[in-house]
Amino acid sequence: MLDLRPYPTEDNPIGFVEDRPRGKRVIIVIDDLFDLPNCYSDNYKHPATSGLWKLYDTVQTWDLRRGIGFFDLPDPTQIEERSNAIIDAIDDWVKLICCDEDCEEGSHSSVHEEYSYYVLVDFFFGNEAHLVGHKFIDYWKKRQIVPKEHEKLAYFSTTGAYPGFVDPHHLPVFQKGRGINQQEQLSHDLKEWLDFESVPLERVWEKSVGWFDDAKSNVVRHDFSSIEQYFIDKSPKATKYKQVIEDALGVKFPDAWWQDLESVKNIHESLKHLCGEVFCGNTHLGGCRNVSVGAAYLIALKVHQELYGNIDALASSPSFWKGSPRITSAVFSIQGKAEAKSSAIALYDFFYHTFKYRGSLKTSQVKTAFFEQGGVVLKIQLKWKATEKASDRSKSLVQMLMERFDSEEIDAPDPEDFRKFSGDTRPVVANNTRDAISRLWRNMMFNSNGFMSPGVVYMEKDEIIIASTEYLVWGDKEG
């Protein structure tokens, strides 16, 4: 979903912005191809805007963001007048989204000092490649509309550093790249400069670029028949396939799963609903698959691995994947790229907080897991019940949720505020089990074609149930 809006007016925009009422980081991009919505139609994006789209898509997964704005790079014939007009527009937007209620016009103190600002400026204007980026930065520094100690400045250019150019400002230079299929993830250096914290599942999405597109990957191919042949022939590609899957997920699967072709097939098809070129949260091609029951199980495995260093409690059966032909049944509806990633992260966080140890016992809270009704239902049994309070809590999870949902406003606290208070640096969206449930509930409402999802996620006593309504036979425990 494209949420960028023209700013300051629709008739004569100087920029296109997107912001929200939480987060403490603001990204400002100055580029003559700032008009991203008009470079976008259906599944086509202008190749020259590739780097800008990569930045925009990455920021959508960043829960610490307050806003991102793409503003025009001034024409060299009107450099002073145009630069000041652009800076005026940025100043108004920043104050609009970051000011305290009592902020004073024209004062640096009017901008909340807890915010951080990341300003990326293109080198060149127009096809003639007029070198104007450094001149814009001259005016930016003269105006200094945000606290200097809270800003970062850098160049963001298609080709990177300009040969022979001596920058008077001595700023870092990051390359955008050109062509929508080129360098589909932001560079590590740029993410580091942006203080970008890896979100859960980012490793999976980065490592699965090209999967299920036979023109891009000769190992993780689309049709399972190719994969099946690897294992039938005992080809080196079978070993390679296992390695790339386990490396991307960060999980070592039981050998028995790889020795059974039905299990391998179900893993392969479930991956299509979590990553690679056909997952709607990780593709420029308009992927048509979102998180399924099987994909939800893969997320649960990853969470348990990261919490406890193993997947033993979730993978006790060597035939876990067998007899589950419907594990690709949808839990989430088709969503926009940002919403689909956010939904997968919300499910990750839900598992994280429900699996995490309670009280003084720092051991896995999972007893077992199993599919039912041919894979339409995933059940995960825990060592605690939603109706019972933990040793370090005065109320049960059910009681705390009833209090939260009794409020007119249901939302989670800002993660950055939480981390400053608690000292927790884990890159997650939700702060606790209640926040995780609230965010998962919210994300299950996103639907590109309507509202709500075809799946349900709920907890009953000590069981988490993830089910799809696509083939579900209510009350039929055997299926």
- pLDDT recorded at residue 140: 96
Cis amide prior to 8 (ω within 30 degrees): yes
> Mean pLDDT over residues 429-448, rounded?
72
> Mean pLDDT over residues 229-250, rounded?
94
CATH topology of domain 5-193: Rossmann fold (3.40.50)
Compare 27 and 202 and report the one with higher pLDDT: 27
* Of the candidate ranges 254-258, 275-279, 291-295, 443-447, the one whose mean pLDDT is the lowest: 443-447
CB of 111 within 8 A of CB of 146? yes
pLDDT for 399 beyond 90? no
Provide the 3-class DSSP secondary structure of residue 172. coil
Q: Where are the domains of the chain?
A: 5-193, 251-468
Is the pTM above the cut of 0.85? no
pLDDT for 154 beyond 70? yes
Q: How far apart are CA 470 and CA 138, in angstroms?
A: 59
The DSSP bridge partners found for residue 120 are: 29, 154
Categorise residue 159: left if φ over 0, alpha if ψ from -120 to 50, beta otherwise. Answer: alpha
Q: How far apart are CA 381 and CA 379, in angstroms?
A: 6
Q: How far apart are CA 11 and CA 24, in angstroms?
A: 30
pLDDT in tens, 309-321: 999 999 988 788 9
Q: How far apart are CA 205 and CA 211, in angstroms?
A: 10
pLDDT for 400 beyond 70? no
pLDDT in tens, 461-477: 889 999 998 765 554 44
At 472, list the tokens.
């579900």
pLDDT for 48 beyond 80? no
Highest mean pLDDT among 94-108, 150-164, 295-309: 295-309
